[in-house]
Structure formats: C-alpha cells, structure tokens
Amino acid sequence: MKSSLHRATLFFLCLAVLLSACGPSLSDITTDLIGQGRNDEAIARMKRALILSPDTPEYVKLMAIAHYNKKQYEEAAKLLQQVLKLDAEDDQAAYYLAAAYEARQDYNKAIQYYRIYNELTFFGEYKEVVETRIKLLYRQQMELEAQRALQMEQQLDVAKIPANTIAILYFENKGQRTELNPLQKGLTEMLITDLSKVKALKVLERIRLQQLIEEMNLSETDMVDQKTAPRLGKLLGANRLVKGSFIDLTGDKIIIDAFVAKARTGEIDASTNISGNVQDFFRMEKDLVFKILDQMKIKLTDNEREAILEIPTENFFAFLQYSRGLDYEDRGLYTQAFESYSQAAAADPNFSQAKTSASSAKKSEQIVGSTSSSTTSSNETKSSEQSQADQKQSDQKQGQQSTSTTGSAAKSTTASRTTTFSNVPPPPPPPTSSIGGGAQGNIINDRIGNLIGNINSTVNPGTGSQNTPPPTVIDPLKPPPSPPN
C-alpha cells in the first residue's frame, strides 16, 4: 500500500514538472506584460516573485525595465546596478542602465555603460549603433560644455591649465582654390592625430574646438589675432595653440606655415613652414609635425617617431574627400558625410579611417534621419571626378562658408542636431538565461570593475585625447523601445 502511494506521489510530481515545463515561464509572462505596456502589473508580479526567489537577476531586470518604461529612471538605475552585481554578463542590463543615465542627463555614466554594453554584447550590429550613439552624445555634450565655458569665463583660472596642454586650431586657406577649403579641417585632424602620439603632450580634441568656435562665432582672422588667442586658450583649457595656413602656388606646389602661440599672452613660441608638391602633402605634414616638436624642444622616443610616420593614405583626392566628410559631419549633414567618406574609401581602398567614418556616418544618418543640402543629394550617384567638379563650383559660390569653422551659417546648420534623433534599436536578449549568474561571472566582473575604474582615462570618441568630459545637462535622446519578446 505504501509503495503504491509512493509511486502515485512520484507520478503526480513528475506530471507537475512536465506541465510547468510546457507552459510559459514567469519571465516570459512578465516580458509579454511589458510589451503590452502593462508595466504596473509587471512590477507587481516581479515583486511577488522576488519574495520567493530573492536576488534573481532576471526578475530584478524585468522590474527595472518596467520602471524605465514608466520613466522612473532613478529607480530603474538602482535596480539595474543590482542586476550587474548579480550577473555581470547581462549586456541588456548594461544597455538599459546607460539609457536610464542618459534620460537622467548624466552623460558621463551613460557613455560609460554604453561602452560596457559594447564590451559585453555578442551582437556586432548593435555595437556599431551604440558606438555611433556615444559619438552623437559626446558631440552634444561638447556643445553644452562650450556654452558653459563662455558663461563661466570669469571664473576660469588660466594658472590651473596644465603646461603640456595644446590645441590645434584650423589652418587657413590663403590660396585661390576654394575647393581646398576642406583641408582646413583635414590638416588639423592629422596634426591632432600625430601630436596625440607624443606622451609629453596632452592634445585637446577637435570636436571641443569646433563647438567652441561655433559658440564664439569666430573667423580665421579672429583665431590668429593675438588678442583672441589668450581667451581661446583659456576657454579651451590649452596652454599652447598651434595655428597656421596653407597656400597653393602655380602648378602643384603648396606652402604650409605654422606657429605655436602661448595661450596666456598670445606671444609666438615657435614658427616654421614647409613647401612641396601636392602629391607629397602627407610627407610634408609629417615634416611639419617634427619641426613643431623640435622647436618646442620635445624629444621623441623611437616608438613615438615611428607612430607619427604612419600615413593613413597617400591619395590626395581621397584625403580631400575625407576632409570634406569631416566638415559635413560637423554640420550634422550625415548623408553627405557618408557620401564623401565613401568616395574617399573608393579612391583608396586601403584608407581604413575613411571606411570606418563612412560606416559611422551611415549609422548617424539612421539615428538622425536623412539630411540634404544644395551641394549634394543622397539619391545621386556621382563619380569621384564629377563630385569634385561639382563641389568646386559650389564652394566658389559659398566661399569660406563651405567649411563650418566660422560664422553664423555654421551655427545654423548644427542647430537641428539636438532635436532630430530617432530611436535606437533595443538590445537583443542575452544568448542564455541570466538567472543565477553566468559561469564567467567572475571574469566579466573583473572586466566591468576595470572599465569603471579606468573610465577617467578612456579615450573620448573621435579624439586622441585622454580627457573625460565633466557632467553636463543636455536634452536627452529618445529612449530605446521595449525589449523584444
């Protein structure tokens, strides 16, 4: 009799297990509730579940996402931090934590956790989108930092600016060929990249310079002026300023002049010039870098010298198109930026930076939306030669305004950047259930700890600088959709 009762008990227990395995899990039911917008029900269900199964990461995460959807970002952030302590490999939790900080206008932490998400996730397509989102956030942040610097200008102490900080201003085109205007930014970008390889220097990023110039509405002449230099250095936080010009001569000859000014006084600290054929433009730029460093009496290691000698491309047209892409991107014209970067990559298939920038511009276009201008159309496909001819004609009409380094025209073209972002796709769920933590939790816990611990030395997007921007308040991007079922 007892053995029969025992067998019957075992039978019903096995049947219960089988029935529970066939039905939807508690997590599935809650995910469906969140997908239907029934966030309060999801929160209540997860609270009850956590009483029976405390510290279950999946339950905490679902409750956090429901709070996020209710725009209760502070509560969501607290819960998501708890999730990452319980299960360090949950990339979806890192994504929503970044989005929660973004909604709370804490952009330092938002960028930090978007980077952590990219460290954890296995989905490459989402990595690219998130990296682009970081760049867009950072560009907006620099715009607000420039505004804040101008507002607090009287409180800034130039004595606290580190002696090794240096900013490279845009080079002025003093020649007649306005189609070379994009080199104003391209040459500056190359100098920043090369000088950033010198450990003795702290080079300020170009994005910060771009936003400050737009806020101050400076012209090339203003940047050269001795009266403006101390103020610009103070606002940028730079002890030295590198400024210069280039001019095309008859044939393919070009001259590049450069000088280094002390930001506090505007006095010239060093000056140099170099000339050669356009085909040797990139080697001329390297010589210019070495001359500047020599006059500043900075000794280079063999590794630094070799790093500086690296040339991204030897195709002048490709570099000109890349420089044009930089200008379009500064103006928020990502469709045109993508076209220019693509033409640069087509002209030189080995120009890896052009390919990377084209991909980033395409992702930015997807987030911001398609852009258009009078010079190019996203629906037109042009050969490289025809594109160059069309751009030359357009630049001759627009003059110096074809680059956005100066004037109110540049200001107006960037104004729409902060209001036209569209949704980022939601992150995919982790490949395996995160209930109970992952087998590699300790390893990834260490990785997250290192990421958070070293966040102050993380390279900012699109720069060669080791600065992490201070917190600031800007309009948030639109939040991501609800998680997929």
Question: How many CA atoms within 13 Å lie on the side-chain side of 1?
Answer: 0
In sequence order, what are the beta bridge partners of 242? 168, 260
From residue 85, give the alpha-carbon distance in Å to each of 89, 245, 446.
10, 54, 11
What share of the chain has pLDDT > 70, as a percent?
67
Q: Which residues pair with 277 in a beta bridge?
A: 253
The answer to whether residue 61 scores a pLDDT higher than 80 is yes
- Which are the contacts of 186, defined by CB distance < 8 A and separation ≥ 6? 319, 320, 322, 323, 326
Task: Please tell me the predicted confidence (pLDDT) of residue 124.
Answer: 66
pLDDT at 319: 93
CA–CA distance, 237 with 219 (Å, rounded to integer): 20
Contact 196, 464 (CB under 8 A): yes
What mean pLDDT do residues 288-311 have? 90
Residues in the chain: 485
* Residues 287, 271, 186: CA angle, nearest 5 degrees: 55
Does the structure show a pLDDT above 60 at 282?
Answer: yes
pLDDT level of residue 471 (50, 70, 90 thresholds): very low
Query: Which of these ranges, 67-76, 135-144, 219-228, has the smallest mean pLDDT?
Result: 219-228
For the chain, domains (ranges, CATH) are 26-146+442-457 (1.25.40.10), 155-417 (3.40.50.10070)
**What's the rounded mean pLDDT across residues 414-437?**
41
- pLDDT value at position 220? 57
Q: Higher pLDDT residue, 2 or 160?
A: 160
Average pLDDT over residues 232-254: 82
pLDDT tier, 224 (very low <50, low <70, confident <90, very high otherwise):
low
pLDDT of 221 strictly over 90? no
What pLDDT score was predicted for residue 7?
55
What per-residue confidence (pLDDT) applies to 97?
93
Q: Is the pLDDT of residue 89 over 50?
A: yes
Higher per-residue pLDDT: 379 or 206: 206
Q: Give pLDDT, residue 25.
A: 85
Say yes or no to pLDDT of 395 above 70: no
Task: Evaluate whether 376 touches 338 at the Cβ level (below 8 Å).
Answer: no
The pLDDT of residue 400 is: 40
308 pLDDT tier (thresholds 50, 70, 90): very high
Question: Residue 10: its pLDDT value, please?
Answer: 53
Pair of tokens at residue 95: 């994504």
**3-state SS assignment for residue 253:** strand
Per-residue pLDDT at 184 exceeds 70? yes
pLDDT band at 436 (very low <50, low <70, confident <90, very high): very low
Please tell me the predicted confidence (pLDDT) of residue 326: 93
pLDDT value, residue 445: 44
Residues 6+ apart with CB under 8 A from 105: 473, 474, 476
pTM of the model: 0.64
* Mean pLDDT to the nearest integer, 79-106: 90
Q: Which of the pair, 85 or 264, is modelled with greater confidence? A: 85
**In the predicted structure, residue 73 carries a pLDDT above the cut 90:** yes
Higher pLDDT: 369 or 202? It is 202
Q: Give the Cα separation of 174 and 184 in Å (integer).
A: 10
Give residue 449's pLDDT band: very low, low, confident or very high (50, 70, 90): very low
Q: Is the pLDDT of residue 387 over 70?
A: no
